[in-house]
Amino acid sequence: MNSDMKTGIPVAIIGIAMFAIGLVLFYSIELGQTDPVLRFIKNIGTFVGLSGMGVTLAGVLLYLISKNEPPIKESFDV
């Protein structure tokens, strides 16, 4: 098993967790908030959520790229 294949799944899991944390931070603050601290938390939630989507995509791609494909066996029986 390739070492990249071992890291693809945990990276995807971390990305999903980041996305979930971003959703919680974003949607736990109401929309028209004027307090700068709460607006900052909402913006951090947006950043973490979008970053989590990217990390998830990177983990899935890392897993798919490093997956070992079986060699093609050609038989020319006549």
- Can you give the pLDDT at residue 3? 55
pLDDT digits (tens, 9 = 90+) for 12-32: 999 999 999 999 999 988 888
- Can you give the pLDDT at residue 21? 95
Report if residue 19 sits inside a domain.
Answer: yes
Report if residue 46 sits inside a domain.
Answer: yes
What stretches in the chain show pLDDT beneath 70?
1-5, 69-70, 78
Question: Residue 36 sits in which domain range?
Answer: 3-66
Report if residue 52 sits inside a domain.
Answer: yes
Report if residue 17 sits inside a domain.
Answer: yes
Q: Is the pTM of this model over 0.85?
A: no
Q: How far is CA 24 from the centre of its chain?
A: 16
Give me the number of domains the chain comprises.
1
Report if residue 76 sits inside a domain.
Answer: no
In whole angstroms, give the CA distance from residue 30 to residue 42: 9
Retrieve residue 38's tokens: 């709460």
Contacting residues for 15 by C-beta, under 8 A, at least 6 apart: 52, 53, 54, 55, 56, 57, 58, 59
Q: At what angle do helices 36-66 and 3-27 cross, to 10 degrees?
A: 160
Is residue 42 within 8 Å of residue 33, measured between CB atoms?
yes
Report if residue 75 sits inside a domain.
Answer: no
